[in-house]
Amino acid sequence: MEEHYSLSTDELEALKELGNIGIGNAAIALSKILDKKVNMSIPDTSFIPITTFSDHFGGPDSIVMTIFSPILGELSGETLFIFSQQSGKGLVDLMMGNEPGNTVNELDEMGESAFKEMANIFVGTYLNAISDMMNIKLLPGVPIVATDMVESILNIFLLKNGEYADNILCSKANISIDGHKVDGDFIFLFDLESLQKIVKKIKESYGDLVN
């Protein structure tokens, strides 16, 4: 497969590791808030073709609940939570201290705010871990909630990278909560300039990876 950033295998490994640490921390934070065991898979970091991106999330027209939150500060990128409607509502219920199944209709203001708060905490912790490790400033942007077809939302997520790449380097981790039917994905990516910065920074701090 064609890859449109020139990354060596070692550089890709380093990026994967960075994702792992960030996600690990974020999962712990979410567990604490919900007081439930949150399972996170090891993020799968790979190049995904734009044209088939939505196939990884249940097909282009499946309706999903998402929270979009940009990465701000010294790096720029995007994060996105994708839940099925049932899972998303279940998660909101857990945040509010209810049993999943309580929220049936559209989210009310409180629900939406709880959903955003979950994203804030998760993305905040994730970025904190990365900034500590790399000694750079990173901040989560204001989270935005949208419920619609997967492909229509992914469009915003893929926008910046779409200007120069056919295949996008993206990390994807599965989130699930034990005993409750909450199951979704957290995906994140950095733009090209930021990727180059990260690789440079890692090389500076940990020496040349190729030896």
CA 99 to chain centre: 25
* Pairing of the two strands 144-149 and 63-73: antiparallel
Cα–Cα dist 156/68, whole Å: 9
List interacting residues with another protein (CB under 8 A). 1-2, 4-6, 49-55, 59-61, 63, 68, 141-142, 144-156, 158-159, 162-166
Q: How far is the CB of 38 from another protein (least distance, A)?
A: 26
**Cβ neighbour number for residue 68 with a 10 Å cutoff:** 20
Shortest Å distance, C-beta 24 to another protein: 28
Work out how close the CB of 141 gets to another protein at its nearest, in angstroms, rounded to a whole number: 7
Cβ closest to another protein, residue 53 vs residue 83:
53
Which lies closer to another protein via its Cβ, residue 133 or residue 156?
Answer: 156
Q: Which residue number, 25 or 69, has a Cβ lying nearer to another protein? A: 69
11: closest CA among 199, 195, 207, 197? 199
Contact indicator for 21, 132 with CB cutoff of 8 Å: no
Nearer to another protein, 55 or 132 (CB): 55
The minimum distance between CB 55 and another protein, in angstroms, equals 8
Quote the least distance from Cβ 30 to another protein, whole Å: 22
Nearer Cβ to another protein, position 93 or 191? Answer: 191
Give CA 29 to chain center in angstroms: 15
In a 13 Å sphere around the CA of 114, the CA atoms on its Cβ side amount to 19
